Structure 1
Amino acid sequence: MKEMTAKQVAEFVIEKKDLFILDVRNESDYRDWKIEGEKVESVNIPYFDLIDGVGPALEKLPKDKQILVVCAKEGSSKFVAESLEEAGVANISYLQGGMKSWSEYLYKAEVYRDENVKVYQFIRVGKGCLSYMVVSENEALIVDPSRFTGIYEEEAAKDGVKITHIVDSHLHADHISGGKELSERTGGKYYLMRSEGATFDFNALEEHDEIVFEEVKLQVLAVKTPGHTPGSVSFFVNDKLLFSGDTIFVGGLGRPDLGGKVAEWAQDLFNTVYEKVASIADDVIVLPGHYADLDDEMNEEGFIGDLLGNIRSRNELMQNKNKEEFVDMVVANANTETPPNFEEIVAINRGVIKAEAEKQQELEIGPNRCALHHTH
């Protein structure tokens, strides 16, 4: 009986290999969030319908594809996979650690390299979150780190560099930041906007228009992009790379509706797009904090990102709109569905409450809902 790791599943998704998934979670959980990909097919048959026998699943499974059984934590999928194997189904595996492990896996891709810097992107495939490591000579900067701080330490060690700077583009609402913990573990300086209201010690980005180390010059663009918060910033590195947080995505803009002030914050977003971002050159590479659709937004080089000019040409909201038109379009596209547990996650990121690892895991389960897409 084979198990498949989240890493192996991510390779199927990213490399566009055929995979058929039998998801045995409850229908509502499956509808809300599932493993998706261009060559991924899935069917949902709840575990309780298969306890007395896997007959209902047999007629729905293909004969010629790798089949993966998936549940929340592993146990149910292992039972179903074993039963299917006994019934003669070949090429069957179950997902080790279930959807919890899928939510937590980070896939590393190289984004950029020149004589001064190299940049890695960490793609949280099951969640749509992106974080980055910028390496120059003996130092590294981490952008929007997840709570899985070990991976950044491991990758820095592989490169023989020390993590000296850690930045968050805003106070995240869909996942728990690893910024503070990574700072404590590595001694790197942690930066966040003071206006985000964090209650612990950090370096306020209001006082650091630039962060300079080795051959890196990072400019802090204080952009009123209300991804979730009016205190969002973007980071412009060496005039070549724009780490856009929740401001600009490959397929859309940050959503300004989570604070319940969609029209008001949409005006701030307009000013950002047409004043601050308008002055940035078309050949700058935009590296966002999230993505909505891996197949649409991953480029041929294998990372999520695009030239700003390409994003402008695709995104109707960024094409010569007046403020009134822009606000009307944003309001019309406003997504009423908030990220699951976002108030509790924000409170943890602010330092107001603490949560044990298991609780953090539970809070983060589910999809990313941070982008204002459907704006093409």
Structure 2
Amino acid sequence: MAVIHILDDAFEAGAAMAQLLSRRRIAAERGAKPVAGTHVLVASAAAEAGLGGARGLTDLARGAGAKSIMVVSEGAAAFGVVEEMGGRVLRVALPRSGQPALRDAGLMTLVDMIAGQVQGMVAADPATGELIDLANRVARTDVTVFINGPTGSGKEVLARTVHAASRRAAAPFVAINCAAIPENMLEAILFGHEKGAFTGASNANKGIIRAAEGGTLMLDEISEMPMGLQSKLLRVLQERALTPIGAQAEVAVDIRVIATSNRDMEEEVRERRFREDLFYRLNVFPLATRALCERPEDIPVLACAMVRRHAPAGQPLPMLTPDAIAALVAHDWPGNVRELENVIQRALVMQEGGRITPNDLLIRAATPTVTRLMARAV
């Protein structure tokens, strides 16, 4: 398990950080000496000084195997981050406790920075945490995984979480959207082809499946795959081998398959739009993502992560106000996580003074008034 060690028991923000990290299924230890296996070492500026400065803190981190260090200075007027040693050391200014709204927003951002170094999927909702636990458990094996859930609910992020936690993490993760490629091209793209196999095949191509050799192949929206190709995919899953178009011999493949769909697959099978034998071959270990409105506790941490991801480099990081977070949680999010990301990107354009307020969110962005506001802001 990934471990965060918070140095110095007297660190005022330490307990709050440990609690927020635990909600994201990340273990956080506290004490004067980091435990072996620490991934990120978090220290107050006072603790760093007590160790004789940056060199002493770096030596302590190296001894525990920590990959990165965060030094937190409390009592700042605003949240700020400075990178040192190529990003391996981050110096974070945390707003003073007399400004609870700014401090809470700063703590949330700080925890997101820490969590982002050890966990790919952002979550605070208990059910989402259980889903991540399941993903980490299935990652220990090579069984085929089927992820079902609404569009934009994080199916690919979950698939990448499985890949990153598996023995195949150093090998390719290759994703293909079965709905986005014309039917007459999908077979060649998936299985590859020999030179001259068809008109326009001036060069051989090994195809997407073999491109994932040793790693993970994600077949996104598998329910859109034509019936004719479904039987060929079934053979790949059964035999772990394929025959490129125009070839005479099979080629062995070593891949882990993760398939996704936003459809009711049992209904697709009943209506004979999807092969039953292929569905059961894919549905060895089912995982399900949920609509964003069904997991409101995930919304603040996702929003915070997106602010960090999309904020302009080299500028102070804007903070979401409590009222803005309340407005985000109250929205029904028909577009799920993708819609939330759009809203955050608009808010970063609209915000002023380093604070994102409800007026900056422009959640109902389809209205002419909002369009005029966005044009004026740009």
TM-score using structure 1 length: 0.26
Query: Which protein shows a greater Rg?
Result: 2
Could you say which structure has the higher helix fraction? 2
Could you say which structure has the higher strand fraction? 1
TM-score using structure 2 length: 0.26
